Amino acid sequence: MTVHRAPDTTSPSTDADSAPGADGWDADSSASVPRDGLPSLPDAPAQHASADADAALAAELERLRRENLYRARRVLEGPQGVRPVIDGRGMLSFCSNDYLGLAAHPVLADALREGVARYGVGSGAAHLISGHSEAHRQLELDLADFTGRPRALLFSTGYMANLGVISALCARGEHVYADRLNHASLNDGARLAGARLKRYPHRDVAALERMSAGPGASMIITDGVFSMDGDIAPLPELARVAQAAGARLMVDDAHGLGVVGRAGRGTLDLLRMDDLQVPILVGTLGKAFGTFGAFVAGSEALIETLIQRARSYIYTTALPPAVAHATSAALALAVREEWRREHLHRLIARFRHGAAALDLPLMESHTPIQPLLAGDSLVALEWSLFLENNGVLVSAIRPPTVPKGAARLRITLSAAHHEQDIDRLLELLGRLPRRRGRVPRANGGPMT
C-alpha cells in the first residue's frame, strides 16, 4: 500500500502573521458604559447596524454552504458507543474518541451515581473558593501517580488547560514554537499570552532547530498524537531542541493517554521520556477514559504556579465532583484491563492490512486515528454520505480543521469494535465512489 500524506502547504511562519494582535487579541474592544453601569437601549441607527451585521453573518454562512464547509450537529439518542442511535437511526460508528469503549461502561455509571450520592451534582464554586472537593483531590493524586509526576491539576476541558498553561507561563513577546498541525487550543494559548507564535512544518525538527536558534525562545508546544493525522510527535528530538534553545517542552497527549504506552500511560511512556525532558504534560479525560475534563501534570512548582496564575483555572466553576469520582474509577479500569489496548491494536493492524489490500489512500498512523485522505472537501462529503447511507458513521473532516486540499475521512477505532465491524467498514470503503457528484444537504450533511 502506498502511504499517503496530506499535502504540505506549510512553511515556517514569520512575525508578520503571528505577532501579537494579528488575530485581534490586542484590539481595544472597550465600550462606554453609563455611570449606572447599565447599557443604553439601541437607537435607530444601532438597530440598522445590527440588521446589517446579521446580513453579513448570513452571507458568510451561505459561503460556507456553497464551499461545502458548513457544519451541522447530529443528535445522539442514548449512550455513546460503537452502535449509537443517531437522529433516530441505529448506526455503526467509527468517529468517536471513546478509544477504550469506557464512555458507557457500567463501572463508571455506578461510580458516577455513588459520586452524586456523596457529593451532589454541581461543585457550586471555583476551586479556589469552596468548589475543590475530596473527589477532585483524590483524582489529582491518582493522575499524578498514573503519569509518574509529583503533582497534577484538574481543568474543566482540554482547551482550558492549554490556554491556562501557556498564558500563565509565557510573557508577552516571547517566542512560542508550535507544530503546524497542533490542536487549535495550543495556538490560542500562545495568542492569549501575547506571545509570538511561530509554527514549524509538521514534525520538521530541522526547521524548528533553525527557527529557535535565536534568543527569546520560551516554549515548544506539540500534540503527542496528532488528532487529525494520528501520527506521533518526534518527542526525543523536540526535547533535544528545547534543551538547546532553553525552552520548556509542553506535550498535549489527549489522544495518546489510555491508548499507547505501558498501562496506557501515553506517548511519553511509549518513547521512554521523563519529566525532565518533557516538564509539562497535558491530558484529557473525555477520550480514552470515557468521562470529562482535563489535567496538567508536572512539578510542584509548575502546579502551584498554575493555581496562582492560570486564568482558565481560577475564574471558572470546578468540574462536578461526581465526574471526578467516576474518573478515578475509569483510570483504575483503564490501567487494569490491558486487554482493551491489546484488542484495539489488533483491530488497527487488521484495518491497515485490509486497507493496503484495497490500495486505499490511508495516511501513516498506528494509533486508533486512521485518516483516509480525500483531498477535496466535496469528495470527503460524498464518501461520508455513501457510508452513512449504508449504516456506517464516519465524519468528513474539512478546512479549517485540516489544511486546504487535505479533507479526509477521520476513521477512529475503539476497543468496543469487533473484527466483523472492521471487515464491514473495509467492504464499504472498497466501494467508495471515485468521482465527484452532487451531495444532498439535508440538515447540512455529515459535518465535523
Q: Which residues contact 64 (CB under 8 A, 6 or more apart)?
A: 70, 71
Beta carbons of 228 and 180 less than 8 angstroms apart: no
pLDDT at residue 446 greater than cutoff 70? no
Give the per-residue pLDDT at 2: 52
pLDDT at residue 155 greater than cutoff 50? yes
Quote the domain boundaries for residue 346: 73-100+338-444
Residue identified by cell 468548589 is 131
In a shared domain, residues 131 and 80:
no
Task: Give the three cell numbers for residue 384.
Answer: 461520508
Q: Give a yes or no: residue 188 inside a domain.
A: yes
Query: What φ, ψ does residue 329 adopt, rounded to 5°?
Result: -65, -40
Give the per-residue pLDDT at 270: 98
Q: Give a yes or no: residue 26 inside a domain.
A: no
pLDDT at residue 133 greater than cutoff 90? yes
Give the per-residue pLDDT at 23: 36
Give the per-residue pLDDT at 215: 83
Per-residue pLDDT of 207-261, as tens digits, reads: 999 999 988 889 999 999 999 999 999 999 999 999 999 999 999 999 999 999 9
Which amino acid is located at 80 in the chain? Q
**3/310 Cα distance (integer angstroms):** 41
In a shared domain, residues 415 and 285:
no
- As annotated, the active-site residues are 227, 255, 287
In a shared domain, residues 344 and 328:
no
In a shared domain, residues 151 and 222:
yes
pLDDT at residue 131 greater than cutoff 50? yes
Per-residue pLDDT of 82-104, as tens digits, reads: 999 999 999 999 999 999 999 99
Q: Which residues contact 80 (CB under 8 A, 6 or more apart)?
A: 96, 98, 103, 104
Residue 19: name the closest of 195, 205, 170 by CA.
195
What's the total number of domains in the chain? 2
In a shared domain, residues 86 and 146:
no
Residue-averaged pLDDT of the chain: 89
Helix (H, G, I), strand (E, B) or coil at 266: coil
Q: Of 336, 362, 389, at which residue does a domain stop?
A: 336
* pLDDT tier at 68, thresholds 50, 70, 90: confident
Calculated CA dihedral for residues 82, 84, 159, 298, nearest 10 degrees: -40
In a shared domain, residues 85 and 210:
no
Q: Give a yes or no: residue 433 inside a domain.
A: yes
Distances (CA, A) of 255 to 233, 363, 371, 388: 12, 17, 14, 25
CA 147 vs. chain centroid, Å, equals 19
pLDDT at residue 7 greater than cutoff 70? no
Give the per-residue pLDDT at 42: 52
Q: Of 301, 336, 371, at which residue does a domain stop?
A: 336
* pLDDT tier at 419, thresholds 50, 70, 90: very high
Q: Which residues contact 181 (CB under 8 A, 6 or more apart)?
A: 202, 223, 226, 228, 229
* pLDDT tier at 447, thresholds 50, 70, 90: very low
Per-residue pLDDT of 355-379, as tens digits, reads: 999 999 999 999 999 999 999 999 9
Q: Give a yes or no: residue 1 inside a domain.
A: no
pLDDT at residue 29 greater than cutoff 60? no
Q: Which residues contact 239 (CB under 8 A, 6 or more apart)?
A: 249, 273, 277, 278
Q: Average pLDDT of 278-285?
A: 98
In a shared domain, residues 111 and 249:
yes
**302/282 Cα distance (integer angstroms):** 12
Q: Give a yes or no: residue 43 inside a domain.
A: no
Q: Of 336, 371, 395, at which residue does a domain stop?
A: 336
In a shared domain, residues 270 and 400:
no
DSSP state of 338: H
Task: Give the three cell numbers for residue 23.
Answer: 488575530
* pLDDT tier at 69, thresholds 50, 70, 90: confident
